[in-house]
Amino acid sequence: MARKVFQTISWRNHAGKSRSFRWDDVRATSSDAEAEMLSIIYETFQQGRIPVLEEMSSREAQFSHLSFQELMAAEYAAAIVQHGHSTANLDAYANHFLSNSSLNRERDRLAENWWMQVWMNTSELLDPAAFAEWCKTLTMDEEAVLKVGKVVQWVIDGDSHALCQEEKTLELAMRSTCPWRMQPDFYSYFLHGIAYFYTVVDIDWQKNTVQFKYTTTFPGDGLWDVCPAAQIQV
């Protein structure tokens, strides 16, 4: 029960993007069993016997390191994923706890650095079957899935002409490019510089590489008619 109380505190803290919590606030939202355990935890904490917590004030405390909160929040999330998997309703649960607002369920927490370690920990805590469905749920957005024949965008910040002329240089530059900057839209063209578009021609899952070829997509893109096929590690 004590660990479940820590998990609940951690999840609520993380959802509120906070490190500290007030004992009274936790007590007010606890069940009778949780409130009883919270009293024991509080008394033990006052005796200096819970080193994972540190006092912020007489009414406020926090985990001594953010990693403790991230792990406990992940345990909370993993329990939800396991339950959603066992009840064949994971998608509905994911829409709720992956979103910052219950009114706009965009799963926006997946894109926030604050949550990154929580989701990584969650993945490691799941059993194989639940993990497989968890991965499937996270990749439901077809725009986020790389497939043969799909046109993707690579934003070039440096000397694009030199990159396109020499395949070896192009490979190295591609490997240093964040995968999420490969996207099938035009917005990064205006934000980051020159955007070039490529068609995925092959995916080698064993080598963890994607082979693609330059393609002219819209006016303004296409300093060359042909660019050598290149590979990027994903």
By CB neighbour count within 10 A (0-12 exposed, 13-18 middle, 19+ buried), where does 87 fall? Answer: exposed
Residues 175-188 have a mean pLDDT of 38
Q: In whole numbers, what is the pLDDT of the chain averaged over residues?
A: 76
Which band of pLDDT confidence, cut at 50, 70 and 90, is reported for residue 146? confident
pLDDT at 154: 59
By CB neighbour count within 10 A (0-12 exposed, 13-18 middle, 19+ buried), where does 71 fall? Answer: buried
> Phi then psi for 225, rounded to 5 degrees?
-75, -30
Greater confidence (157 vs 94) lies with 94
pLDDT digits (tens, 9 = 90+) for 32-41: 888 899 999 9
- b/e per residue 17-42 (b: at least 16 CB within 10 A): eeeebebeebeeebeeebeebbeebb
What stretch of H or E contains 9? helix 2-15
Which band of pLDDT confidence, cut at 50, 70 and 90, is reported for residue 29? confident
pLDDT digits (tens, 9 = 90+) for 92-125: 899 899 998 877 778 889 888 899 999 999 999 9
Q: Are 34 and 8 in contact (CB under 8 A)?
A: yes
pLDDT digits (tens, 9 = 90+) for 198-225: 778 888 777 777 777 776 655 444 433 3
* Gap between the Cα atoms of 215 and 228, Å rounded: 10
Residues 65-88 have a mean pLDDT of 95
pLDDT at 103: 79
Task: Please give the structure tokens belonging to residue 91.
Answer: 């998608």
Q: Is the pLDDT of residue 150 over 90?
A: no
| pTM of the shown model | 0.62
